Amino acid sequence: MAKKKLQQTEEKCALQEILGVIGGKWSMSIIYALFTGKKRFSELERLIPNISTRMLVKELKNMEANGIVIRKVFATVPPTVEYTLTTKGEKLEPIINELHKWGVEYVI
C-alpha cells in the first residue's frame, strides 16, 4: 500500500522497510526452519532454540500479515496448525542461505 507515496523514498528506505518484515530477532530463523517444508507450531518451537512462545506467535503473525507465511488450521482435537512459506517467502531462501554461509565463514 501507499506505493505512490513511497516512490521518492523507496530507494533510500527499502532496507528499512525490509527490516520491518524480516528484521525481527527470530524472523530469519523461522523462515530458515520453513525452508525444509511445512512445520507445526510445536515443531518450530523445538527447532528454534530459546525462542519464547510469545515471540514465535508474534513473529508468525507479523510474517503472515506480510505475506511471508501461510497459516493453516485443522479442526482436530487437539488442534493442529501448519505453517508454510508463501512464494514470496520462498524467494528469500537463496538470500538467507547466502547470508548464513557468510556468517559461518566470517562471523562464527
Partner DNA sequence: CAGTATCCTGCATGATACTG
Partner DNA sequence: CAGTATCATGCAGGATACTG
Q: Which residues bind DNA (CB under 7 A)?
A: 24-26, 40-43, 50-55, 57-58, 60, 71, 78-82
Q: Which is nearer to its own copies, 73 or 107 (CB)?
A: 107
CA distance 93 to 108: 20
Report what 67 binds from its own copies, DNA, none; CB cut-off 5-8 Å by kind: its own copies
3-state secondary structure 46-70: HHCCCCCHHHHHHHHHHHHHCCCEE
Report what 80 binds from its own copies, DNA, none; CB cut-off 5-8 Å by kind: DNA
Q: Are 85 and 68 in contact (CB under 8 A)?
A: yes
- Closest Cα to residue 68, out of 15, 14, 32, 16? 32
Report what 51 binds from its own copies, DNA, none; CB cut-off 5-8 Å by kind: DNA
Instruction: Please give the residue ranges that form the binding site for its own copies (CB under 8 A).
Output: 3, 6, 9-10, 12-19, 21, 23, 25, 28-29, 32, 48-49, 66-67, 88, 91-92, 94-96, 98-100, 102-104, 106-108
